[in-house]
Structure 1
Amino acid sequence: MNCLIVLAFLVACTLCVHGQFEDGGHHHDHHLEEYIDYKAPPHYHYDYAVHDLKHHDIKSQWETRDHDETKGVYTILQPDGRKRIVEYVAGKHGVDYKVKYEGHSEHGGIGALSG
């Protein structure tokens, strides 16, 4: 008798588990939720660039972060024709920027161009 009860219980459990993946003969995809460790130290890298000569929009940036330190560089073509380059490092004790320029300032620059 006990074997019959155990067997009936196992069949019921199998049907319940099987019923999670089937509904009336139609299969449904069930996705497991992604585990996100919110206490893990941050780590990422990204970069992008725009080079639109028609609108004089030329810029780029990259940034990377590993734990508490973030560093990166961005560049932009300014209206006076110079390229501004900004390097930065940020961490527990603040942020440090280094700004430099390439090229020479032109009277009127790209901002004065028509079209």
Structure 2
Amino acid sequence: MQTIIVLASLVSAALCIPAGPPAYGHEENYDTPAAYAYQYGVADDYSGAKFEQNEKRDGYSTSGSYRVALPDGRIQIVNYHTADAYSGNIADVTYEGTPTYGPGPARAVHAAGPAHLG
């Protein structure tokens, strides 16, 4: 009886073993040209962070823009595009607003000390 139980458990264990490597789904093909579009934005009043970006790509043709709030109060806007694999990336950078700066560093004034005559 024990022999039958041992043989039955070995047969059931053998039937549960997969025949070959596990399958993880279909294999990705990375030879096709990239095609996507996205956009996002952040506006955090607590930290003052404010920026946004968008981009669209179809093969090598890519275009997009982003905006960033600079510490001096201006907004930097970058529009960029790439036409193909050979022309490179072309960016157009502009600014909105007028820069403002806080007070400059305080100028140290030293009192004149006694003159030493030698």
Alignment-derived partner of residue 81 in structure 1? 73
Is 2:56 the counterpart of 1:55? no
More strand by share: 1
| Residue 65 (structure 1) aligned to one of 35, 38, 57 | 57
Identity %: 34
RMSD: 2.4
Shift of 1:44: 0.8
Task: Please tell me the residue identity of whatever aligns with 1:33.
Answer: G
Is 2:100 the counterpart of 1:106? yes
Task: Please tell me the residue identity of whatever aligns with 2:71.
Answer: P
Structure 1: runs of 5 or more not aligned? 1-19, 21-30, 109-115
Q: Pick the structure with greater CA Rg.
A: 2
**TM-score, normalised on structure 2?**
0.61
Distance in 1 (CA, whole Å) between partners of 2:54 and 2:48 is: 20
Shift of 1:86: 0.1
More helix by share: 1
Structure 2: runs of 5 or more not aligned? 1-14, 16-22, 103-118
Q: How many residues align?
A: 84
Cα deviation, 1:71-94, whole Å, max 9, x if unaligned, reads 110100000000000000123210
Shift of 1:32: 6.9
Distance in 2 (CA, whole Å) between partners of 1:51 and 1:99 is: 21
